Amino acid sequence: MSTDQTGAPAPQGDYRAALVHDGVVYTAGMTPRVNNELSVRGVVGATLSVQQAHTAAGIAAANALAAARSVLPAGVASDRIRCLRMTVYIACAPTFHALSAVADGASARIRAELGADALPVRAAIGVQTLPSGAPVEIDLIAAVF
């Protein structure tokens, strides 16, 4: 599968990359895929540094934004979304605690693309493993205005 015309990654299973309902966009979990290939694999605090994971989170956030934009109603400009909530899942070693530093990579990407007012509330959650060995996975909920 390939990305669509918006650059949104194709789903890796039987689900939608994003959907919009009553003016709210929900994205599936997005990993740091580039051209539908996972660009970074590993476990933060074991095989990956905070900086590597921070970068990966930025890529995953860009993919989530692309997925959100791919379902905007016709005539709605791609910058007419406001991120409401972001969850950042981080595959990390049990002793790794700098989850917010990794999640900041996703926030930085949203700020760069949409401005500081588009920053959402967020949660950064450490997990044992993620799909395909990804170090981060991000989902977004955004409002269309």
Q: What pLDDT does residue 133 have? A: 98
User: C-alpha angle with apex 84: 81 to 87, nearest 5 degrees?
Assistant: 120
pLDDT of residue 5: 46
The single-letter DSSP state of residue 66 is H
pLDDT digits 0-9 by tens, 66-110 = 999 999 999 999 889 999 999 999 999 999 999 999 999 999 999
Query: Comparing 10 with 43, which gets the higher pLDDT?
Result: 43
- Does residue 41 surpass a pLDDT of 80? yes
Task: Please tell me the distance from the alpha carbon of residue 97 to that of residue 58, in angstroms, as a whole number.
Answer: 19
